[in-house]
Amino acid sequence: MSVDVKAEAVIARPRSDVAEIVFDPKSEVIWIEGMKQVFPQSVGNLSKGSRLERRGIMAGLEYVSEVLVTNDEPEKMLEFSSPEPFEMKIRYNLDDVEGGTAIKIRIQSVGDVSRVAMPPAILAGKVREDLEGSLKKLKKHMENGHS
């Protein structure tokens, strides 16, 4: 069984403002649940080919991961691959909606998650909690004027 988790939120700010935070690797510790440290390996905002090292806790699992941006569309979409805490694809989508910006995040496991010492359904639930927590933090940060 695999993990395929989605979460979304609407943030009452223009897409360019949301992208300014979401596409800036130095901002990840502000809004990503469990993110302890981020070390960008390239300058500027995230785009295809960008690499970063993330250190944190996801779904209760401590990890250090070399993350690669595999695809991007400026201010609209980022796709990542990450080998830790389990091999996964991550996708962020930003869309203009009435009243602000819809942000959608999807995390999909790639291959087997059996090396993680918990059943896939439990892992997926914990990943979903982390994603929802991240979006709540981002919304609070953005809507309280701290961009």
Question: Domain extents for the chain?
Answer: 4-143
- Tell me phi and psi for residue 34, to 5 degrees: 80, 0
Give the mean pLDDT of 2-17: 96
More confident site: 116 or 93? 93
Mean predicted lDDT score pLDDT of the chain: 94
Sign of the CA dihedral running 46, 47, 52, 57: positive
Percent pLDDT > 70 in the chain is 97
CATH T-level topology, domain 4-143: Alpha-D-Glucose-1,6-Bisphosphate; Chain A, domain 4 (3.30.530)
pLDDT of 83 above 70: yes
Percent pLDDT > 90 in the chain is 85
**In 12-145, at which residue ranges do the beta strands (DSSP E only) sit?**
35-40, 51-58, 61-73, 77-82, 88-97, 100-109
pLDDT of 147 above 50: no
pLDDT of 39 above 80: yes
pLDDT of 79 above 50: yes
Residue 99, classed as helix, strand or coil, is coil
Q: What is the pTM of this model?
A: 0.93
Q: Are 35 and 56 in contact (CB under 8 A)?
A: yes
Of 11-15, 117-121, 131-135, the poorest mean pLDDT is in 117-121
pLDDT of residue 146: 55
Longest distance between any two alpha carbons in the chain, whole Å: 43
Sign of the CA dihedral running 107, 125, 62, 25: positive
